[in-house]
Structure formats: structure tokens, C-alpha cells
Chain A
Amino acid sequence: MIDTIFHMALVLAMPPLLLGVIGKTKAAFAGRVGAPFLQPYYDMGRLMQKGIVLSDSTTWVFRAGPVVTLAATLFASLLVPLGRHAAPISFEGDMILFAYLFALGRFFTTTAALDTASSFEGMGAAREVTFSCLAEPTLFFALITLTRLSGTMSLTPMLQHVTLPVWLATGAALILLLAGLFVVVLAENCRIPFDDPNTHLELTMIHEVMVLDHSGPYFCCILYGAALKLYLLGALFVNIALPFSSGNGFLDWGIFACGMLGLAVAIGVVESVMARLRLIRVPQLLVAALILTAFSLVLVVR
């Protein structure tokens, strides 16, 4: 029970902090002070206070988009274990539900984008669905490798199976798998090098351009949902990357939270040292990630 409460608290409260940490890291690299860590929370609070402007072209689908996406992501948050603590909901096959809930969110985000009748948003939607159908097989390859390692088909036992001895035995495979997963985390969350969340040129954007017409509380839903998605996919990564258990339940929560912050710093570093890829290059990188995870499977089978 207490674990479930901790789980919910972390999942609900922590995601925007990751955005703050990424921003601060990027500022540090650029030699600026940067916005406070809690800036994303302030932004979301302010958005909740605002009214909205609705485009004349839109229907209820436009307003349902952010809402369904957030609802699906929230349910997905119950399926991922955080560190050494089991997820509140765990059953055989939950990782498929996990992946498909994100797909449901994507379906609604992109249809909401098409509802605005803006060609820029249509462009963003087309890119989003195209890139993610290349990123999805990578995630599934990683899951197959994990299933083979752990012999289970549920996220919690699968990820908790990855411990220090497993790392020592199959380190090479896990490193390849992590590399693939890191690319998926960046691509699915529209971070550099796939997409620049800070860009202001509509032609080059993916995620941000799809939500141009959303405002007020609905936009807050979108920002929060995006942060939550980053958090959940990041948790998948951190669970594998940090195979430690301190033996103490509370300490484990701390280790996990530090891991997540570390991941945010890593993303910040990637964003600071890399430029956005040309759109033509993006599929190539995604396919490369796919092949990396496929290699990890080969290494495990050998």
C-alpha cells in the first residue's frame, strides 16, 4: 500500500522536474544561469489559470486529443516499476498494453492536430506517426531480449530481473539494448537530435507544431502528458541501467529518483552537444537503433 502511494506520488509529481533539469543542464552548457528547476511547474500552474482560444475549424476531437492522451499515459504509469519497487498493476502481457497506450495517445494527438486544418500541424502529425512506427519495433526488440533474459512477460519481473549478476553475464547485450532504448526515449519524446522542443520554426518541428493551436488548461495537459511520457520511458531505461538494490525500501526510491535525474542530465548533455538531425537522417538513426537492439537479442541467444 505504502509503495503504491509512493509510486503514485513520484509518477504524478516528478515528471515536470525532469524538464527543469534538462533546461538547467542546457543552460549550464551555454554558460547561462537558466530558469529555476521548478519552472515547468510554474508554467503549468499558470496555464491552468488561463482561458482558451479555440480555432473555428475544430470539433470536439480537438479537445479530446490532449485529454485522452493524458488519460492513456496516466494508466500506463501504473504499469512501470520504479527502481526495485513493483508496479501497482502487473500481469502477463502488460508491456504490450504499455506500448499500445502510447500508441492510443499518439492516435489522438495526431487526429487533434489534423482537426485544426493547418498544414503545419498536418506536417507534424505525418512526421510523428512515421517516426514512431520506426521506433516501435525497437522497443519490441528490447522487450523480446528482456523476455528471453527473465523468462517473464510482464514489465515488473522483467525489469527487476536485471540485477548485477545479470549485467556481469550479459553486459554487452544490455549495453546495446540500452543504446537502442535511449534512442527510443529521445525519439518518442521529440528531443534533440530528432526534434527541437525549443525551436520556433514551424517547418522543422514535430511535436511542438502539432500542438500549436492548443492553449490554456488543454495545453497544460499536453505538456504534463509529454513530461509523463518522458518519465515513463525514462523509467524503463533507468530500471535496466541501475541494477542496484540497497536492501532498504526507502533508499531504493532515492536511488531511482537520482537515476531519473541523471537521465535528465544526460538528455540535457545530448541536447547541448548535438544539433538536430536533418529530417531525412532521422529514419536512418531509428533503423540503426532497431538493429542495435536486434544485435542485443542475437548476443543473448548465442
Chain B
Amino acid sequence: MLFFDMMRDPAFLVLCAIVLAGCSGLPGLFLRHGTLGQRLASVAALTSSLLALPSILYLLLGGGEASFTLNWNLPFGPCEVALDPLSLFFLIPIFLIFPAGSLYALGYWPAKSQASEKSVTFFYGLLACAMAMVVVARNGFLFMMSWEVMALSGYFLLVAEHGEKEVRSAGIVYLVASHLGGAALTALFASLFWITGSFSFPAPHSLAVAGGVTSTLFLLALAGFGSKAGMMPLHLWLPSAHANAPSHVSALLSGVMLKVGIYGLLRVISFVSERPLWWGALLASVGLTSALAGICVASAQKDIKRLLAYSSIENLGIITTGIGLFLLGEGSGNPRLAFLGLAAALFHVLNHAIFKPLLFFCAGSVMHAAGTRDLDRMGGLARRLPFTAFFALCGSIAICGLPPFNGFASEMLLYLGFFGEARSAVPFVALGAPVLAMVGGVAVIAFVKLYGIAFLGEPRTEAAAKGHEAPVTMLAPIGLLAALSLLGGLFPPVFMALVQPALRALAPDTGLVSALPVPPVWFAVAGGSVIILAAVLYLFLQGRVKGRQASGPTWGCGYLRPSPRIQYTGSSFGAFFSSLSGALIRTRLHVDPVTGLAPSAARLSYAPEETLLHRVVLPFLNIAGVACAFLRRLQHGEVQIYILYIFATLMLLLLWVH
């Protein structure tokens, strides 16, 4: 009886779903035939999502909150997990993308052909579970444990193809960056413990200590969570990690794990009662810099997934800008700005969690079809993959922030925030609007390139010409995400209803301006009219030219023997803009020239350079490595001695405490 009573409690259902997600890959580890294990994992993922999503929506819209305390015998205070509007809101992307990716993996990473399937499936579930635990944890120690499980399962997922050198080095960079971030977070929770005397999270708006201390907390949170969220210049690990992971993993990393960083930042900000104005200014400028630099570098990429990864940096920059505006508005007593900034940020969290996985899934299908991640070796896939091409088009329009898709709605809120500031005495904040317009313009370059070069034109290689459409298990999640994306663009109130509770929890003052300044009906009218008008025109013109249609080769401007190789490539498409942005985007050439009387094969390859990583950070790390060479003697790979280290450290700490 007790069990059934508990099952009626939506909050308990959410916790069950989290556990179920974590266990989804377990059966597969023990089954000899991987296919069954993988199917079981997908069923478990879908079930967990069916349990969780309705309960989350019920709690979020009904204003329910819940908290559970687990008795653990560890000296870190009570182990509390709680579901409040902020946690519930950030659980939505997890339970949306995790089952979608799990379903997608059936076709994309099948047990039949991928030896690493078992570990990928297991860690995929564990990653989702760990992310959800991070979001619901209310104890600093539990938070850090979940955080580490999240970071490590991310690592094991990302090195699924560890046979390749590129993947291994991406994994190392990820591991280093994620531990540096983890160190900042450990310092953060240690200082919280020092202030409050407990590992339990302080209640919202309860932390009122001297300015310097809270600002240290804020900076630690920014370093730790910002590096997870890929804010520039802490983004160095992100592009190669997201590019080298399997696509359904990239979707989860990019669509959801980055948002966990945003969640952490918002959570820490919510502790503090007095937030200085410069926090907002810092976040807004970091956000705009990330957005502009991220998308500029994205437009120069020729690796389809690297392009998407850099565009994640852009989108997270937009979200950070929104949070910055929220703090600025709150600090300067401007509830309108605070409302619009935070609403835009949270709305964009949802939006990015929809269209970025959509595009990563499409990129996965494209890679299956063309056998490469290199845009310059694709082309003409729209004929071979008509459905994927259609959904990728939806995703590309959405991510550029163009109507009628959801990206437009959230960017509109941010624009309104900026424009409203044009009326203030000193309109510094309004200067963000042209920057955002520039970001939008460059996003069009990046995604016209991605879509046009990969899907349109003629296939540039044999492999691209023989591609095949993805199976229905891969198309279904993509189609669902595309539909959600359109829904959010035409009817933003649907998404705003989810945003509102979190908004009220974070910023009770903004309740004064609870309504959108734009009457939401105009989104539906504008989007709907453009779609209907276009459809009517299309049909009219189709009817008009019926029977008077001829076909022939593309006009070659007089050149009679065109070949697919003369098409504009992705690199040439982005080159003109890259030439304007100078030092930010450089291309590295590898040339083996023709030499000698009997030359061997000559070759030339090119790739956009990671300027910051290769020119600044790696040389610095190399110097540090030389300087710290003596420490390597401690690192000899003998496990028993490592255990001795741990023992000795613990003993010393015990001595110190007594």
C-alpha cells in the first residue's frame, strides 16, 4: 500500500525516473547479445522519460515543491534532494534529450557494428542520471559527487572511439579542463561550508556577508560553472570534445550538459541576497564576447560537428548575456530589464536544448551517409536523405534565430531588453543590440554554409553520392525535436509557461512584469502567415509552370565541362568573412610540396586553427610541464603506492584535525 501511495507522488516518480535512467545501461553489461541490452536501455530511457516529464510538468505548472532527506552515515550533513521550480525546469531538457538520444543510438551506434556499444549505453544512462542528480542535489557534497560522476561519464562517452589519436587528445583536454573547473567548485563549496557551517545549500537570498566574500564565491562559481558552460575563454575543451564524441553523445553534452553549468551559476546566484551591479556587467560582457567570437569561429569551421560545437558557445553566450541583463536590471531597480533578461535566458535554455540536439542528430545521420565529418567532402545529400535534410533545414533556421522557429522568440526578448535600455539616461546596455544583430548575421553565414554545403549542390565525393537515409528510429527523435522547435516559435506562451515558475522563484520582484511585452499572438500571426503565404505561392507557381518545365545542367557561365569539384566548398564560403575577422580565425596549411627529380606524392591539407589553444595555452602548459617535471616521479603508475598516498594523506589530515 505504501508503495502505491508513493507512486502517486509526482516528486517520487521523478526520483524513480532518475534512478531508472542511471540503471538503463546495466542489463546490457551482463547480456551476451548487445542488441537486446541496447533495446532494453532504450525502453528504460523512454519509460523514465514517460514517468518524469508528466510529473515535472505537473509539479512545475501546479507550483508543487518537494524535498527528500536521505540518511547517510557520512559526515557531510543531511543528504537532501529537492525539486523546486529551478531544478524542475532544468530537468526538462535532460528527460527530453536523453530518451531521444537513446532511441537515436539504436540506429546510429548499433550493438552489431560498434564494439564500444555496451560501455556507451551504460555511461549514457549514467550521465543522464548524474546530470539529474546535480540538478536536484541540495547538499554541496552530493552535488560534487554527482558532478564528478557526470564529468567522468562524459569522458568515457567521449573516448568511445579511443583508437583514434584525435579522440584521445580531445579526451585529455576535456579531463584537464573539467578538473580545473571541479577544483574551482570544490573551493566554492568549501567556502560556503566555511560561511554557513554546513554543506547543505543555503536558502535562497539568505547569504548576506561582506561584499568581498560573496564576490569571491561568484567568481569561483563563474570559473567552475562557466568552464562547463563553455564561456569564452574557458571554452577550450569544448569544440574537440563535442566534435569527437558519438553524435547522440554530442547532443546530450551540448544540448544538456552545458545547461547544467548555467543551472549551477543560477543556483549560486540565488543564494546571495545582495548582488553587486558589476556581476551583471561582467556576465553580459562575457556573454556577448562568447556569442560573437564563438559564432565567428564557427563560420570558419569545416568540420560539421566542430561548427555545431562553436555555435553552442555562441548560444551559451546568449544565455549568459540574458542572465547578465537580469542581474543588471535587478541591481539598478529595473524589473522590466530583469524580467526580459532572465526570461530570454531561460527560454533560450529550452530552445537550445531542442535545436542543438536536433542538429547534432542530423550531423550524425550525415556522417553515416557521407562517411566523414568534413563539410568540404559532402554535398547533394538532400536527394539521398530527404527527411534528414528537411529537419536539418528547420534546425538551421531555428538556430539562426529566424522566424517562425523558436530561436527567434527568445532572441526577441533579449532584443527588447536591450532596446528598452535605449531610453535610460546612459544607454550603454543598448549597445548589446547591434552586437546581437551581428551575431545573428554571422550565424546565417555559418548555417547557410552548413546546410548548403552538406545537403545541397552536387556530391563532392563518391561516398557522399551513395549515402542513404537514416532509419525511422533515428528520424523519429529528429522529427519530434523539429516539431517542438516550430511549436516554440509559433506559440511562445507554451514555453513561457514552463519558464515562468523558475523565473518567479529566482526573481520574485519581476512578478510586476509577468506578461510578455510583445503580444504573443503576433508570433503565431507572423510565422503562420509566412508559412501559409509561402505554401500558397509555391503551389500557385507549381501549377503555373506545369507542363512548361525543362531541365538541364546548371548554367556554367560558358564553361562546358563542370565537375562537382569546382563547386564552392564550405571553406571557400566562409573564407570571405574570415578574411575580415583577421587574427581571430586562422587557417593552418600542411603542405608536402613537389620536390626533387622523382617527386613522391604531394599533398596539401588545411584546417582552421584553434588560435588560443595552440598559440597561448598549450605553449604555456608545456613550459609548466617542464617546470614541474620533478613531480612526475610521484606518478609512476603503480596502484598500490597510489593507495599508500591516499592513506598517508588521510593520516596527516587526521593528525592535523586533532
Task: State the A residues within 8 Å of B (CB).
Answer: 48, 50-59, 61, 63-64, 67-68, 70-72, 74-75, 89, 91-94, 96-97, 99-101, 103-104, 106-107, 110-111, 113-123, 125-127, 129-130, 132-134, 136-141, 143-145, 147-148, 151, 153, 202, 212-213, 216-218, 221, 283, 290, 297, 301
Contact = CB atoms under 8 A, between A and B. Distances in A.
A122 B568 contact: yes
B367 interface: no
A101 B537 CA distance: 17
A103 B400 contact: yes
A67 B437 contact: no
A118 B556 contact: yes
A48 B548 CA distance: 12
B625 interface: no
Sorted nearest first, the 8 A-B pairs with minimum C-beta distance are A122-B568, A133-B441, A51-B548, A114-B452, A137-B434, A117-B457, A71-B533, A71-B534
B212 interface: no
Contacts of A91: 518-519, 522
B598 interface: no
A68 B530 contact: yes
Interface stretch (B47-55, B418-426, B603-611): B418-426
Contact of B456 (A56, A59, A103, A147): A59
Given A54-B550, A137-B434, A130 B530 contact: no
A55 B456 contact: no
A121 B544 CA distance: 26
Contact of A93 (B452, B517, B557, B576): B517
B551 A54 contact: yes
B230 interface: no
Contacts of A52: 545, 548-550
A133 B427 contact: no
A151 B424 CA distance: 10
B530 A133 contact: no
Interface string B398-437: 0011110000100010011011101100110011011111
A54 B435 CA distance: 39
B522 A115 contact: no
Contacts of B396: 107
B522 A89 contact: yes
A252 to B, nearest CB: 26
B553 interface: yes
B526 interface: yes
11 contacts: A52-B550, A54-B549, A68-B534, A97-B403, A115-B457, A118-B556, A123-B568, A133-B438, A140-B433, A153-B517, A221-B541
B567 A133 contact: no
B551 A117 contact: no
A216 B440 CA distance: 32
A106 B519 CA distance: 26
A74 B526 CA distance: 11
Contacts of A136: 437-438, 440-441
Interface stretch (B16-24, B257-265, B442-450): B442-450
A117 B402 CA distance: 25
Contacts of B401: 100
B437 A140 contact: yes
B416 A50 contact: no
Nearest to B548: A51
Nearest to A51: B548
A231 B538 CA distance: 23
| Size class of the B contact interface (CB-based, 8 Å) | 35 or more
B529 interface: yes
Contacts of B412: 93, 96-97
Nearest to A145: B422
A290 B575 CA distance: 22
A167 to B, nearest CB: 19
A93 B577 CA distance: 29
B433 A130 contact: no
B572 interface: yes
B382 interface: yes
Contacts of B562: 117-118
Given A51-B548, A68-B534, A130 B457 contact: no
Given A51-B549, A91-B518, A119-B566, A144 B430 contact: yes
Contacts of B530: 68, 71-72, 75, 101, 104
A126 B552 contact: no
A56 B416 CA distance: 45
Contacts of B525: 89
Residue of B422, B551, B555 most packed against chain A (CB within 10 A): B422
B444 A106 contact: yes
Given A71-B530, A111-B448, 11 more contacts: A52-B545, A54-B550, A57-B457, A64-B534, A72-B534, A103-B402, A107-B397, A115-B382, A117-B379, A118-B562, A151-B423
A161 B341 CA distance: 28
Interface in B502-532: 517-519, 522, 525-526, 529-531
Nearest to A118: B554
A216 B545 CA distance: 8
Contacts of A153: 416, 419-420, 517
Given A67-B537, A75-B530, A120 B552 contact: no
B423 A147 contact: yes
A28 B317 CA distance: 52
A107 to B, nearest CB: 6
Contacts of B517: 92-93, 153
Contacts of A119: 566-568
Contacts of B566: 119
B251 interface: no
B393 interface: yes
A287 B393 CA distance: 31
A204 to B, nearest CB: 12
B580 interface: yes
Contact of B552 (A53, A70, A96): A53
A144 B429 CA distance: 11
Contacts of B453: 114
B518 A92 contact: yes
B297 to A, nearest CB: 14
B383 interface: yes
B260 to A, nearest CB: 30
Given A117-B567, A144-B434, A148-B423, A133 B545 contact: no
Residue of B415, B416, B431 most packed against chain A (CB within 10 A): B415
B458 interface: yes
A218 B540 CA distance: 11
Given A61-B382, A93-B517, A100-B403, A122 B434 contact: no
Given A53-B551, A71-B534, A147 B451 contact: no
Nearest to A79: B526
Nearest to B460: A117
Contacts of B544: 48, 217
A258 to B, nearest CB: 30
Given A63-B538, A116-B554, A92 B437 contact: no
A254 B522 CA distance: 30
B333 interface: no
Given A110-B448, A111-B448, A144-B427, A134 B457 contact: no
Contact of A104 (B403, B434, B541, B545): B403
A283 to B, nearest CB: 6
Contact of B580 (A74, A212, A283): A283
Contact of B554 (A55, A151, A216): A55
A75 to B, nearest CB: 5
Given A144-B434, A148-B427, A217 B534 contact: no
Contacts of B389: 59
B573 interface: yes
Nearest to A129: B445
Contacts of A133: 438, 440-442, 444-445, 577
A75 B551 contact: no
B593 interface: no
Interface string B249-281: 000000000000000000000000000000000
B204 interface: no
